[in-house]
Chain A
């Protein structure tokens, strides 16, 4: 068997899978986006740009997503970095595995059930009541954008922790010794050695969280009380409620285009940021 044939054969399953599960559905979505809603809902073949012209009616959903997804990503990063640093650098290696498992444990339960638990935690009988007992009034938490952010950080934190942990753990400790030997105080070693070398993990984590957040619909629906409307929620309504598939397809295409643009810009930016070094890969 020639190496070329072997390569082809080995790649065949993945290629077929990608074609059938990624390319084909995307083509269907693209074709549908130019169609018309059938009288009782669904798709009826046509060539019309009307669905794209109507995208403005979902502006609020795009705006919410484009504000809360980056905000959620940054919050995740701010909380995940110290945690990953602690796990990779400070934690006793004896306990490290156990602590890492604790980070994953929540994933063993469905996000639906965990979000439901947050409804009670943030509801009137939960945290607000506790705060009220301490004499600070009872703030409304559940069904606000703030509750959605809490849910997002809670749900996505592990996805941010792990890439950063890996990049910090691989860090060559001798570099820090060298930095100290040359008279650098610890904070300066962190800013000039540790942080730049952990950027690949940061970039990967941010990308993972951001991409998944752009499609999120469950957390806003549950913790936003249906009042915090993401593109994902608009899509669910368009496909399952009003059954306007062509318009739903157009919204989906718009989301894909927005993602392609932001992700490409982000990759260019991180590459320039890293000074063209090719060890800063994204995935």
Chain B
């Protein structure tokens, strides 16, 4: 190409951006000289589904605020989004669904898009904190290509409030080099029994009532979601008995597992995969009794300040090519068959990321009441302060 009008160096782009911000050039000049106008037109043509979207006209504003989890996005995708739309992604990272809920309940979060987990969505709907989605603005969301098991929780009473992002499991990771005479544990019963025996002082549990209490309940074969007082009392006894044997109560378990201070921990898929990749002796196990299966979603909070940008970002991230790039970056699978088709076979055959069907069948989704039950919260407080 001899005519380089569609190309602009990074430095020149920033210089033009400043001129535009300072008001010394018009928006039209800015879009023209930086090639953003052309870029949006080209992208619009290349991705038929996007052609009619609001952001293809380049009027979605200059930023979009995303509340999400740590290490859960490929920054290159955000760069591409900014280049295509002019909207920079402003990311707020959270540690738990409870924190997200607390922030939205307090009001004035300023978020445009957030990433709730399956069991929180009905609570957001009940509290009127979540916007029903206008699917015509998310043409990349093709419900038929999604596994309904993972997409289902986004729909409440027939209204779609959230579209699926990624899914995963909660099992445990064990450093097999430290097993000694013990067989490799395969159940939650063994997890807790080993913690109170040979692995004393070496086990970590999440600083999170949902998974820590849930997997203590699995010791007795109860439901992960139980709020039955008698069953919770059993779980509490186990937790209090195990506490002196724990290395730590923390959801930041990778550093201690990698340094060898901790030998076993309750663990989410992605962390299990990352540790196993770098240290093959750390294996990821799904307890035979079951445990948690989860699915994260994209949703828009009520009163999002940049609504067009919110839809544009969700639609962009659900584009199968973009979504596959996301998935390869953070390691969590999607529930979209179109994305699976783009993934390398070694990923699809990975037993950590895509567990065998019989192990998956034993798992349960966390329930909304599990999150909000005051008794479980108090149990966790007693466990931590004991």
List the interface of chain A (C-beta within 8 A of B): 37, 39-42, 57-58, 60-61, 64, 119-120, 123-125, 140, 142-143, 221, 225-227, 229, 233-234, 237-244
Given contacts A227-B243, A229-B384, 5 further A-B contacts (CB under 8 A): A125-B259, A225-B246, A240-B96, A241-B98, A242-B380
Cβ-defined contact, A119 with B201, below 8 A? no
Cβ-defined contact, B381 with A123, below 8 A? no
Q: Any chain A CB within 8 A of the CB of B108?
A: no
Interface of B is mostly: helix
Query: How distant is B282 from chain A, measured CB to nearest CB, in Å?
Result: 15
In the complex, the chain A residue whose C-beta lies closest to that of B100 is A240
Q: Any chain A CB within 8 A of the CB of B126?
A: yes
Cβ-defined contact, B378 with A242, below 8 A? yes
Q: Any chain A CB within 8 A of the CB of B134?
A: no
Cβ-defined contact, B105 with A227, below 8 A? no
Complex CA–CA separation, A119 to B250 (angstroms) = 13
17 contacts between A and B (CB under 8 A): A41-B105, A57-B382, A58-B381, A60-B386, A61-B385, A64-B385, A119-B256, A123-B256, A125-B259, A142-B261, A143-B247, A226-B207, A226-B249, A240-B98, A241-B96, A241-B380, A242-B374
Q: Any chain A CB within 8 A of the CB of B38?
A: no
Cβ-defined contact, B247 with A234, below 8 A? no
Query: How distant is B331 from chain A, measured CB to nearest CB, in Å?
Result: 23
Contacts of B351 in A (CB 8 A): none
Q: Any chain A CB within 8 A of the CB of B127?
A: yes
Cβ-defined contact, A58 with B385, below 8 A? yes
Complex CA–CA separation, A221 to B255 (angstroms) = 15
Q: Any chain A CB within 8 A of the CB of B101?
A: yes
Query: How distant is A131 from chain B, measured CB to nearest CB, in Å?
Result: 15
Q: Any chain A CB within 8 A of the CB of B99?
A: yes
Complex CA–CA separation, A215 to B378 (angstroms) = 21
Of the residues A40, A57, A140, A143, contact of B378 by C-beta under 8 Å: A57
Of the residues A61, A125, A225, contact of B250 by C-beta under 8 Å: A225
Q: Check A243/B105 contact, CB under 8 A, given A123-B256, A124-B260, A125-B259.
A: yes
Annotate B366-386 by CB proximity to A: 1 below 8 A, 0 otherwise: 000000101001101110111
Complex CA–CA separation, A60 to B385 (angstroms) = 6
Cβ-defined contact, B105 with A119, below 8 A? no
Cβ-defined contact, A123 with B259, below 8 A? yes
Of the residues A119, A142, A143, A226, contact of B384 by C-beta under 8 Å: A226
The 6 A-B residue pairs whose C-beta atoms are closest, nearest first, are: A225-B248, A242-B377, A226-B249, A60-B385, A229-B385, A124-B261
Cβ-defined contact, B259 with A243, below 8 A? no
Contacts of A125 in B (CB 8 A): 259-261
Contacts of B378 in A (CB 8 A): 57, 242
Complex CA–CA separation, A101 to B378 (angstroms) = 46
Complex CA–CA separation, A242 to B98 (angstroms) = 7
Complex CA–CA separation, A238 to B123 (angstroms) = 18
Q: Check A244/B385 contact, CB under 8 A, given A41-B101, A226-B249.
A: no
Cβ-defined contact, B381 with A239, below 8 A? no
Annotate B183-212 by CB proximity to A: 1 below 8 A, 0 otherwise: 000000000000000000100100111000
Q: Which of B263-314 contact A (CB under 8 A)?
A: none
